[in-house]
Chain A
Amino acid sequence: MTYVEWLRVGTTLKRTAITLGIIFLIAVAARIWLSVYGPVDAMSYVGMLQRDPASHVTTTTLPDGSRQTIVDNPAQGVHVVAVDLGKGHEIVHITNSKATGRQHIAVFGNGDVNTTRNGTGSETTIETDNADTGSSALEFGIAGFVALIAGMILAGCFSRENDGHLEIAMTKPVSRTTLAIQTMLVDCVGIVAVWVMSAIAMYALQALFLGFHFGVTGRDWLLAVVVVLGAIAWYALLCCSTASLKRNYGIILGTAWIVGQLIPVVSQIDDNAPQLFLLLRTIARPLSWIDPFTYARISIVMPSAAHAMHAPPYQVDIPVLVALSLVYAACAIVQWRRVEA
Chain B
Amino acid sequence: MSSIEISHLSKSYGSFTAVDDLSLQIPSGTVFGLLGPNGAGKTTTFKCMLGLMRYADGNVTYDGKPLVPATFEDLAYVPERNVLYEWMTVAQHIEMNRRAFQRFDPASAMQLLERFGVDPRKRVRTLSKGMRTATMVSLAFARNATVLFLDEPTSGLDPVNQRHVLGLIVNEAARGNTVLFSSHQIGQVERAADRIAVMDRGRLVLSGGVDDLKADRKIVEGVFPNSQYDLDAFAADPLVGRIDRVQRIARLLVTAGAPGVAQRLSDAGATGVRILDLNLEDIFFYAVSPADATSDAATRSIAS
Contacts and interface: CB of A to CB of B under 8 A. Distances in A.
A7 B88 contact: yes
B53 A4 contact: no
B171 to A, nearest CB: 22
Given A173-B69, A173-B72, A175-B69, A3 B95 contact: yes
A4 B53 CA distance: 23
Contacts, number: 58
B72 A341 contact: no
A276 interface: no
A1 B99 contact: yes
A52 interface: no
- Interface footprint category on B: 20 to 34
A170 B51 contact: yes
B75 interface: yes
Contact of B100 (A3, A7, A166, A167): A3
Interface residues of A, number: 19
B79 A167 contact: yes
Interface in A316-341: 338, 340-341
B73 A173 contact: yes
Contacts of A166: 52, 83
Interface string A146-186: 00000000000000000011111011111100100000000
Interface string B78-101: 010111110010001001100111
Nearest to A1: B100
B72 A4 contact: no
B70 A173 contact: yes
Contact of A171 (B50, B70, B82, B88): B50
Contacts of B71: 173
Nearest to B102: A173
A168 B82 CA distance: 10
B32 interface: no
Contacts of A7: 88, 92
A173 B54 contact: no
Interface of B: 47, 50-54, 69-73, 75, 77, 79, 81-85, 88, 92, 95-96, 99-101
Interface of A: 1, 3-4, 7, 164-168, 170-175, 178, 338, 340-341
Given A1-B100, A168-B84, 8 more contacts: A3-B95, A3-B99, A4-B85, A4-B88, A165-B84, A167-B79, A170-B51, A340-B47
18 contacts: A1-B99, A3-B100, A4-B96, A164-B81, A164-B82, A166-B52, A166-B83, A167-B79, A168-B84, A171-B52, A172-B100, A173-B69, A173-B71, A173-B72, A174-B100, A178-B69, A340-B53, A340-B54
